[in-house]
Structures are given as structure tokens and as C-alpha cells.
Amino acid sequence: MSPESSTRGIPAHGEVPRHIAIIMDGNGRWARARRLPRIAGHRRGAEAVRETVRACAERGVGYLTLFAFSSENWRRPAKEVALLMQLFQTALANEVDKLHQNGVRLKVVGDTTRFDPKIQALIAQGERLTADNKGLTLTIAANYGGRWDILQAVNRMKNATGEIAEETLASHLAMSYAPEPDLFIRTGGEQRISNFLLWQLAYCELYFTEMLWPDFGAAALDEAIASYGRRERRFGRTSEQVEATKRPEVA
């Protein structure tokens, strides 16, 4: 596990979050308000993804994690799920080369075994192609759930002996390659984390907006980052302790 665990120490942090995690909510409501089919909202949401990825890269965000499809989303109507899978496959086929050209590293986390073999192959190809890129790390959480993540980490460790340490379990989580999120954003007005990154959000700053995801873009991202910049990140300390760390040492 990274030494920057928020429960073990004080992670490095600044005015711009190193890692932003987003639940992209509101595609269906956006379409319904315009008397369009739900898939139109999802397609417009894909455009918002492109703009947000570009904006994060320009602002120096190191990691962006997007909750694209939860393990609970299989409960949606079969037709909508099929259209979402088609949209996911198309995005992988059409966008990965552009990500690569812009130095973005692509990662997909979740139980991908349930996806069509074509989607699984595109995921593997995209991750291979972009593996050495040094820019923004874009993680797509697909068929992902926070409880699934913790359980699969425990299952990986089932042959371990002795007491399980936090560092050991965290090293088996799906996103062990990334620092914990600094800023969590949820669009669409709901104020819950919906089984997303349960372990990793322990000390994350939460930001909720009424804006529907298809309307989200660079300006909305800047508002969220500005809100984050005004937060006092104490990690269990007092305000006085935080202030003391900001004062220059006297020789």
C-alpha cells in the first residue's frame, strides 16, 4: 500500500487534487427533460467525459476515476443495459488511440468477466497500449462495486497467515496503483456514494452538485476544485495543528 494512506499518515495534498473520483449521474433525467430516449443522455454524457478528461489533464490532475457502470446497474432494463454495453464498446474502440496520443494511461477496474469477449479484448488492448504513458491516469470503474473490491482483495489474501494489516489488504484492492481520491464529485443532486470506492474514500472531500452529468464540463470542474481548495484537510488533527504545519520554521 502507498505510504500516503489517509488513516496511517498525512497524504501530500495541494490546491489541485491529485485524484478526482466522479459518479456521473443524471444522463436519463437530462434526456427525459428534452423528451429524448435515455440513450441520448448517455451519448451526451460521453461527450462530457471527453471534456472532463481533457480539463483534468490541463489542470494537472494526476488521476481521474469515473464510475461508468456499477455492479448494481445490471438491474436496469435489459434494453438499456445492452445499449450501454454497445456505447462502452464503441468508446473503447474509438477513444483509446486519442487517449494514447495525449499521454493518458487507461485502466479499467471491476469484474470484467461478465462483459462480452469483444469488450474484454478492447479493455486489454487499451490498457496495454497506454501502459507506459506518464500523463493523466484515467480509470473507468465498470461492473464495479466497493464491497466487491474489498471481498476480492480478501479472497486474494485467503492463504495469508497471521493478522491482516491495512497495508496488505489495500495492496490487493483494484486501485492499489493510485493514491486515495482527494475529491469525490457526484452530479445529479443525489448525496450518497452508492457503493463506490468504499475503502478509498475514507478521508476524501465530498462535493455534490445538482447539475446533471451531460451538462458537466470544464467550468463545473473548476467550481468543484475551487470548493476543494477552500476545505481544511485535517485528517484527524485540530485546526491549530494544521496551521502549525504551514508556518515557516524559525532558524
The domain ranges of the chain are: 19-246
Average pLDDT over residues 78-84: 94
Split at pLDDT 50, 70, 90, the class of 238 is confident
| pLDDT over threshold 80, residue 162 | no
pLDDT at 108 > cutoff 90: yes
The pLDDT value recorded for residue 235 is 73
Annotated catalytic residue 25: yes
User: For position 80, what pLDDT does the model report?
Assistant: 93
Is the pLDDT at 146 greater than 60? The verdict is yes
> pLDDT digit string (tens) for 109-123?
999 999 999 999 999
Query: What pLDDT, on the 0 to 100 scale, is given for residue 248?
Result: 63
Indicate the range of 12-21, 25-34, 62-71, 222-231 predicted with least confidence: 12-21
pLDDT surpasses 50 at 3: no
Q: Which amino acid, 236? A: G
Position 245 scores a pLDDT of 73
DSSP-H helix ranges across the chain: 27-33, 38-58, 78-101, 117-130, 146-156, 166-170, 218-229, 239-246
Distance in angstroms between the alpha carbons of the first and the last residue of the chain: 36
Residue 185 pLDDT exceeds 70: yes
Residue 14 has pLDDT above 70, yes or no: yes
Active site (annotated) includes residue 159: no
CATH 3.30.310.80 fits 19-246, yes or no: no
Per-residue pLDDT band for 191 (boundaries 50, 70, 90) equals: very high
Q: Which of 27, 73, 155, 222 is catalytic?
A: 73
